[in-house]
Structure 1
Amino acid sequence: MAPSLNDKSEKVAEESMASQLQNRPISTIVIIIAMQTEALPLVNKFQLSEDPDSVFPKGVPWVRYHGIYRNLNINIIWPGQDTVLGVDCVGTVSASLVTYAAIQALQPDLIINAGTAGGFKAKGACIGDVFLASDVAFHDRRIPIPVFDLYGVGLRQVFSTPNLLKDLNLKIGKLSTGDSLDMSPQDEASIIANDATIKDMEGAAVAYVADLLKIPAIFIKAVTDIIDGDKPTSEEFLQNLAAVTAALDQAVTQVVDYISGKCLPEL
């Protein structure tokens, strides 16, 4: 059956609206950050305030900091602390939930997932390096059935920002995501298959939701630990967290400054 006139009109209207959104300056940004330690320096830098009347469902621990910085409506979303254990709600489940809720409530033009990550020295990563992810994928969703295996990996190219990458002289690498801080032999094989330079616990989940709801997303990750090094990951992560967070916050500030006044295609 041929598309009706109404269907064609709706499609033209949608394409026209999408074009208008692409060609106006970016207005609203949502920054998803898993840990409070990573979030608070940026909250202070951008002079944001915690939302007293949450836009999120009652009872969830998610926190929104918001304000205006360089004519941008900035929203930092931190998944908060586990209501029982009091630790940061890290991992893919919280990341996907807060990304979905933030998009629904705030209708951002762009999502930034910022955070720390492990890096591979074999791929050129060093402690304190800041990477912009080129691709994201999962490494711990193993479904050895044809096509389901591809779904499990969930490989996605992120929103391309060639001008930002060049002008800010950031490193670029592929990001692999899983729900464990350590790395099992099975995870290692999947990470190698993903050709990843950096490894985190949120990125691919944020990318999945952003792609589902058609919101451009970029990923800024700072290296706290060398996964293929000679130190235990947890020990090295805690040792370097404060210093690397400072590098992350500087990079995120530079990116936000760069975005101010620009349209999406200009990135």
Structure 2
Amino acid sequence: MSGQIISLQGWFETPPGRYLLAWEQAQFDQAVADVFGYHALQLGVPAVDALRTNRMPHRWLALSEPDASSRAAALVTDFAALPFQANSLDLVVLPHTLELSPDPHTTLREVERVLVPEGRVVICGLNPASLWGMRQRRSLLYRRLGMGESYLPEAASLIGYWRMRDWLRLLGFEVESGRFGIYRPAARSDAWLERSRWLDRAGERWWPIFGAAYFLVAVKRVRGMRLLSAEWRRAAQRATASVPVAGRVGRDTPRTHKEGNGS
């Protein structure tokens, strides 16, 4: 069989794709339900309705190119140059967006620009350090030899979990939560995936970092700075100055004058 390239949309219709899609949809539903604000944006991958449980009044789906086969998108744009003002969005979700981007770091920097302080970014990606990632590397080798097809959808590159956390930290994000999922082996049939269902629970307990997918929620932190005037020195001096306290002369207080003897 000659080498074949499978798109993400087509891959989501395969048994492992449906398995991954169900897990990711559940994670997004839980993560965005209680994120409040006014404007939320999903970048790419319309197969995942990442904002369906969110209650913001303005929610949009943006695609990098027109796609008549998917649900309607509000805009088509370059993800590395979003048509939004700085500090204007409260939530941005990235379901495999960075993996499919030709310049993922620039895309993430653009997300940081448009998010308001304390805004959130939700990221889902495939873990190269997993059974699925190992299967993908092997299938890519076969493809170079003109044999077989890719197991995972074609992507620019799979970005590891810890590498993603480093990128977020460099851009001023604070990771609020992170988790792994998808521990069943890299099978292509529903039957094999169903037989290995017990591995989901075992994997979460015994080898959590080797899940085939990871999920991250990060918050944009803006460190504040307060300008001080020259008055702060005088204010500090006033605050530390001693204050005389009036007290009454008691039995144990020495007298400072002699009492008269009546003469």
The answer to whether the superposition gives a TM-score over 0.5 is no
Where relative contact order (Cα < 8 A, 6+ residues apart) is larger, the structure is 1
Question: What is the TM-score normalised by the length of structure 1?
Answer: 0.30
Question: What is the TM-score normalised by the length of structure 2?
Answer: 0.30
**Structure with greater strand share of residues:** 1
Compare CA radii of gyration and give the structure with the larger one: 2
**Structure with greater helix share of residues:** 1
